[in-house]
């Protein structure tokens, strides 16, 4: 994989949730190829195995862990195990997320709870568990994967947009709590990114979407991973509490 951005993460350990596919997979690969040892977390063991095989084939180091990110005991136990086995936790990327789209009047309580629990509660649980170890070492990078939907909203995504807006609020609050211990907390907010989900929209809709993007193209997973890599690097030590929008200028 060709990398436009590189960082020296040798000797660092990272956790990436939702690492089995899409943005999480690319982020995990990017961190590993820049020297980090990466704990790749998701529910699907088979897809996680593919992520790990890609990392190792390119000379990186990664290990797969299955976990329900919304279950506190499971999260605490897993993070503690990684910290104990690997010695420390330097980087956390909260990427795990789901969608259950429908208009608000049709949205069930279960659809609301499922999205909020995975996208927002899960990120909180991992941030709290990882921060305990980062505080001890007085160093850390926490990156939360938000979305432009959390900034501008999107019809049919009340639950998803609320979860992503919540991540922005959580990011800004945690950054103020942790900055004195040299732990930065930032969010990345992607716009329309090439994926199986966007392909399912069809060519006509994608054509209209692209017209709304000044860059005149959809983003790629590599575009997003490069931003995460910067925020995870030592070079970003004075950047905290920020939301980095990666949308080709769509939100202006």
**Closest by CA position to 27, among listed 97, 164, 134, 17:** 17
What Å distances lie between residue 205 and 83, 129, 161, CA to CA? 45, 41, 20
- Radius of gyration in angstroms for the set of CA atoms belonging to the chain, rounded to a whole number: 17
Give just the sign of the alpha carbon dihedral 70, 74, 78, 80.
Answer: positive
C-alpha of 51 from chain center = 15
Separation of alpha carbons 148 and 150, rounded Å: 5
Output phi, psi for 99, to 5 deg.
-125, 145
Separation of alpha carbons 49 and 42, rounded Å: 10
Region of 104 on the Ramachandran plot (φ > 0 left; ψ -120 to 50 alpha; else beta): alpha
Which residue matches tokens 């996208």?
A: 119
User: Could you say which of 65, 124, 139, 160 is catalytic?
Assistant: 160
For the question of residue 160 being annotated catalytic, the response is yes
Q: Which residues participate in catalysis according to the annotation?
A: 160
């Amino acid at each position: 994989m060709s990398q436009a951005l590189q960082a020296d993460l040798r000797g660092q350990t990272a956790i990436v949730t939702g690492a089995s596919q899409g943005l999480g997979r690319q982020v995990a690969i990017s961190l590993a190829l820049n020297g980090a040892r990466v704990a790749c977390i998701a529910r699907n063991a088979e897809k996680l195995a593919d992520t790990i095989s890609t990392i190792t084939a390119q000379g990186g180091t990664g290990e797969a862990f299955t976990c329900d990110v919304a279950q506190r005991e499971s999260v605490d136990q897993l993070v503690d195990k990684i910290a104990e086995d690997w010695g420390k936790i330097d980087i956390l990327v909260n990427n795990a997320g789901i969608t259950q789209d429908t208009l608000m009047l049709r949205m069930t309580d279960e659809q609301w709870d499922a999205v909020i629990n995975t996208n927002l509660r899960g990120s909180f649980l991992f941030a709290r568990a990882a921060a305990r170890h980062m505080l001890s070492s007085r160093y850390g990078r926490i990156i939360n994967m938000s979305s432009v939907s959390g900034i501008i909203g999107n019809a049919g995504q009340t639950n998803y947009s609320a979860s992503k807006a919540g991540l922005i609020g959580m990011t800004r609050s945690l950054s103020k709590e942790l900055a004195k211990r040299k732990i930065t907390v930032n969010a990345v907010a992607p716009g329309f990114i090439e994926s199986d989900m966007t392909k399912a929209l069809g060519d006509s809709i994608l054509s209209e979407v692209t017209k709304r993007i000044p860059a005149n193209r959809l983003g790629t997973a590599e575009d997003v991973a490069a931003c995460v890599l910067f925020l995870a690097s030592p070079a970003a030590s004075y950047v905290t509490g920020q939301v980095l929008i990666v949308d080709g200028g769509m939100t202006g």
